Structure 1
Amino acid sequence: MAKVLIQFAHPTLSKSSIQKTLETYCRKVKGVTFNDLYEYYPDLYIDVKREQKLLSQHDIIIFQHPFYWYSSPPILKQWQDLVLEYNWAYGPEGNALAGKQMLNAISCGGGREAYKETGYNRFPVTQFLLPFNQTAHLCKMEYLPPFVVHETYNMSEDMINSYGENYARVLQSLVNEEFQPIHYQDVEYINELTPVPSFSH
């Protein structure tokens, strides 16, 4: 059984139905630790030793956040700058995270068609997430396909809950170590491995 750590960052959670729902569902999955960074560090003073201990105790690290300006809320960048120390997370002696897995779980207002070369945003989501991908690589971790929810502004309550259930299934599969490298070869998003049913908006 794998232990999953969710590093959650949302500065205005009360305004996000989808992120609140994802939080509700993921908290029900045994083997998952939910670490709300804005809640735990309202003054933005990050306890580096606490965070490093949490990382050491888990096998899979998930950065869950809204897709703000093609990236994450600022506390996650600050977290990376402080917690992923040289010769701890990377560098000649930096092996603390070696062999662990990492992915992003994000919500986007735009539709999937907008994240293509011919779309409004010009690039796929996975290209915008390349800094996270490279961070995982530098820290000797395996970067997995992201969990992505599109069109959050137009989503019905049924669809929101369906994504919550989908997220819980993905997390349970990660805890149970059901996904193997071959499963990731033909999917852009990890949620494609446990698809949600179709709903009208």
Structure 2
Amino acid sequence: MINTLVVVAHPDLSSSRINATWCKAIEGLAGVTVNDLYGRYPTGKIDIGAEQKLITAHDRIILQFPMQWYNCTPLLKQWIDDVFAAGWAYGGGRAVAGKTLCIAVSTYSKASDYEKDGRYGRTLDELTSPFEVLAFRVEMLYQPGFFLSGSENLSDESLAVSASRYRQWVAGAQCTYGGRKAQPVTS
């Protein structure tokens, strides 16, 4: 069985609609550990050793976050910078080589905004490509993203469908390597 670590990086999960629903959807999945970064590190001081130990114990790492200003949340960025350290993840270290990196991203804007001809002129794959490059740099496998856009007008029914799809995706995500990707899952 593949052990999966879901690193949730929502600044206030208690007030979240989408990320909290996704977390609830994966509760009880065998082999899945949820790590709420903002809940665990409210002061922003990350226990690097503990996080590296968590990663070491898992085969697949999913970074789950709401997109903020076309990027991940600040604590997730800090977590990546601190935890994927030289000598451990790269630069003489290979602790994550062969593991899988995945992302699950929610956005406020509607899906059509993230098209070449859309409002932002960039797709979600393009905007999240630094995660793919991170995976490549530290010799991880990369899983195309699970995206949910349009949280502004998302119905309860659509959210329930997304949560069900997310649970299935977490339970059985297929992975690729070195930039070769399958189609991203979009709700």
Equivalent position of 1:95 in the other structure: 94
Q: Deviations over 1:76-132 (max 9, x none)?
A: 1111111111121011x2110000111110101122211112110110001111111
Give the letter aligned to residue 112 of structure 2: E
Give the C-alpha shift of residue 39 in structure 1: 0.5
In structure 2, C-alpha distance between the alignment counterparts of 1:103 and 1:171, rounded to whole Å: 9
Equivalent position of 1:116 in the other structure: 115
In structure 2, C-alpha distance between the alignment counterparts of 1:113 and 1:28, rounded to whole Å: 34
In structure 2, C-alpha distance between the alignment counterparts of 1:141 and 1:32, rounded to whole Å: 19
In structure 1, C-alpha distance between the alignment counterparts of 2:84 and 2:36, rounded to whole Å: 18
TM-score (norm 2): 0.93
Q: Give aligned-pair identity as a percent.
A: 34
CA gap of 1:64–1:180, structure 2 versus 1, over 3 A, is: closer
In the alignment, structure 1 segments of 5+ residues that lack a partner are 197-201
Equivalent position of 2:48 in the other structure: 48
How many residue pairs align between the two structures?
A: 185
Give the C-alpha shift of residue 4 in structure 1: 0.5
Q: Structure with the greater relative contact order (CA < 8 A, sep ≥ 6): 1 or 2?
A: 1
Q: CA RMSD in A?
A: 1.7
Give the C-alpha shift of residue 185 in structure 1: 4.7
Runs of 4+ in structure 1 over 6 Å off? none
Q: Is the CA contact 2:142–2:175 (under 8 Å) kept in the aligned structure 1?
A: no
In structure 2, C-alpha distance between the alignment counterparts of 1:77 and 1:49, rounded to whole Å: 17
Q: Is the CA contact 2:105–2:146 (under 8 Å) kept in the aligned structure 1?
A: yes
TM-score (norm 1): 0.87
Give the letter aligned to residue 21 of structure 1: T
Equivalent position of 1:132 in the other structure: 131
Equivalent position of 1:149 in the other structure: 148
Q: Deviations over 1:27-66 (max 9, x none)?
A: 2311110000000111111000000000101011111000
In the alignment, structure 2 segments of 5+ residues that lack a partner are none
Q: Is the CA contact 2:12–2:38 (under 8 Å) kept in the aligned structure 1?
A: no
